[in-house]
Amino acid sequence: MTLASDRPADAATPASAWVLPAHWRAVEFIADLHLAEDTPATLAALAAHLRGTDADAVLLLGDIFEVWIGDDSLDESDSFEARAFATLTAAVQARHRPLGLALLVGNRDFLLGPQACRAAGLQAMADPTVLVAPWGERLLVGHGDAWCLDDTAYQAFRAQVRSTDWQDAFLARPLSERRAIARQLREASEARKRDQGVESYGDLDADAVRAALVQAGARTLVHGHTHRPACHDLGDGLSRWVLSDWHDHPVERSLMRADLLRWCADGLQRRTLPGVQPA
Give pLDDT tens digits for 92-122: 999 989 999 999 999 999 999 988 998 888 9
- Tens-place pLDDT, residues 127-185: 999 999 999 999 999 999 999 999 999 999 999 999 999 999 999 999 999 999 988 88
Asked whether the whole model's pTM tops 0.85, one would answer: yes
CA 147 – CA 135 distance, rounded (Å): 28
Name the E strands within the chain. Answer: 17-19, 26-30, 57-61, 100-104, 123-124, 129-132, 138-142, 220-223, 230-235, 238-242, 259-264, 267-272
- Characterize the bridge pairing of strands 138-142 and 267-272: unpaired
- CA atoms of 8 and 273, how far apart (whole Å): 34
Q: What is the rounded end-to-end Cα distance, in angstroms, of the chain?
A: 32
User: Could you tell me if 28 and 240 are in contact, meaning their C-beta atoms sit under 8 angstroms apart?
Assistant: no
CA-CA distance, 114 to 120, in Å (whole number)?
10
CA distance 212 to 1: 29
Separation between Cα atoms, residue 220 and residue 62, nearest integer Å: 18
At 1, is the pLDDT very low, low, confident or very high (cuts 50, 70, 90)? very low
pLDDT tens sequence across 178-208: 999 988 888 877 777 677 665 656 899 999 9
Sheet with 220-223: strands ordered across? 17-19, 129-132, 138-142, 220-223, 238-242, 230-235
